Amino acid sequence: MKNTIRKYWSLFWKFRKLRLMLLLEYRGNFWFWTFVSIMWTIFNFFFFDLIIGARGSIAGWNRTEMYVLLSTFTMIDALTWSFFYHVMQEYISSIFDGRMTLTLTRPINPQYLLSIQTNSYTNVPRFLIGLTMMVITLRNGAIPITVWSVLGFVLFYCVSILFVYSIWFIVATFAFWVDRLDNINELVPSTRRVWQAPKEVYTGIVSVIFTVVLPFALISSQPSEILLGKASPYWLIYYTALTFFLFYLSTVFFRFSVRKYSGTAN
């Protein structure tokens, strides 16, 4: 068991190293996409700032609180985009073009291998922007911070990452069941606008969908609420339990779908 963990850990870093080598091969590409990602971050802050300007708040979240939420979103988005977008893209195209063949013959958990094989580093500066914005907002807004609130934030930041991973992996695994669906990988990132808004924005049936059934609205809200001291334990427990259930579901669905895999014949 210890050996297996060591092997999996070392493989994780081996892939990061290989990706770093590739990045150094294509430095121009890296700077270009870094610029694009920073531009998006500025756009997001600016867009919400314009909307907040209309009333001074959105669904009971004032400007400072909205900035905490947007910073959290930026940090989650930077990480999920860096890892999952590329990983899932690779996973889906390997199903469609038959390259999955090689992954499945490896003596290693295929879901793990598929989930770590690639990443980009273009969103690292974006993560740092989010973090910096968070620190500045907390300081300027005079929001009281305790060790527990920071630890809680980090913990639920990780839960959110696991939540996004699980949902994304399940969606990507549907590629086994369709002939060809090139934009299947756009499904989860397209919900990102849901993550950006506080969960109180949604009312009625939309609220039930985005906070209970597919709680995308909790992704940024929950860690932010912990920092702002307004989190509800019921939501936190529900969110955590659902996340672990989804993770379990992703593994079961993957194993089941692999049975269906035919690959391309030649």
d(CA 16, CA 21): 9
Site string for another protein, 30-59 (x = CB under 8 A): --xx--x--xx--x--xx--xx-xxx--xx
Closest listed residue to residue 219, CA positions, set 208, 233, 235, 234 = 235
Closer to another protein by CB, 26 or 244: give it: 26
Give the angle subtended at the CA of 161 by the CAs of 171 and 49, to the nearest 5°.
Answer: 100
Give the angle subtended at the CA of 226 by the CAs of 220 and 227, to the nearest 5°.
Answer: 90
Helix (H) or strand (E) holding 40: helix 27-55
Closer to another protein by CB, 98 or 240: give it: 98
Q: Could you give the count of Cα atoms lying within 13 Å of 177 in the half-sphere of its Cβ?
A: 11
d(CA 141, CA 145): 11
Site string for another protein, 125-164 (x = CB under 8 A): ----------------------------------------
Compute the least distance from the CB of residue 12 to another protein, in Å. 10
**Residues at the interface with another protein (CB under 8 A):** 7, 10-11, 14-15, 18, 21-22, 25-26, 28-29, 32-33, 36, 39-40, 43, 46-47, 50-51, 53-55, 58-59, 98-99, 101-102, 104-108, 110, 113, 178-184, 186-187, 190-191, 193-194, 197, 200-203, 206, 259, 261-263, 265-266
